[in-house]
Amino acid sequence: DTEVTQTPKHLVMGMTNKKSLKCEQHMGHRAMYWYKQKAKKPPELMFVYSYEKLSINESVPSRFSPECPNSSLLNLHLHALQPEDSALYLCASSQGLALISHEQFFGPGTRLTVL
């Protein structure tokens, strides 16, 4: 199984809502990533978890809250988002943090619209 799954595929939320994005992999990977991608732009790294601990936070606003409850699951909790947060949110995983040695596998993404 070389798949990273993400749910939901699409999400529409208001600025006062609280919602969560979910990512799952069963490849035994110990590094998991959240990226944000705006239209016609490359992905921007948000967070990296290694062995279920937050390793990198790219100065992401606190309205985005990541969580890694176990080695297979990665969540992104959303609260009080702004319309400019509308984007494709991509999850990825790799066997280890060093991307020079490990291939990164991406999920299909969740397309988020904030009204």
Partner 1 sequence: KNEVEQSPQNLTAQEGEFITINCSYSVGISALHWLQQHPGGGIVSLFMLSSGKKKHGRLIATINIQEKHSSLHITASHPRDSAVYICAVLLPYNFNKFYFGSGTKLNVKP
Binding mask 1-20 for partner 1 (x = CB under 8 A): --------------------
Q: Are 13 and 81 in contact (CB under 8 A)?
A: yes
Indicate which single residue of 11, 21, 107, 112 sits in contact with partner 1 (rule: CB under 8 A).
107
**Rounded Cα distance, 19 and 25, in Å:** 21
Fill in the DSSP letter of residue 40.
T
Q: According to CB under 8 A, which residues from 67 to 106 bind partner 1?
A: 88, 90, 92, 97-101, 103-106
- Contacts of 42-46 with CB under 8 Å at 24 or more apart are 43/90, 46/76
Binding mask 33-52 for partner 1 (x = CB under 8 A): ----x--xxxx-x--x----
Q: Report the 3 state secondary structure along 49-61.
A: EECCEEEEECCCC
Total binding residues toward partner 1, as defined by CB under 8 A: 25
Residue numbers at the binding site for partner 1 (CB under 8 A): 37, 40-43, 45, 48, 55-56, 88, 90, 92, 97-101, 103-109, 111
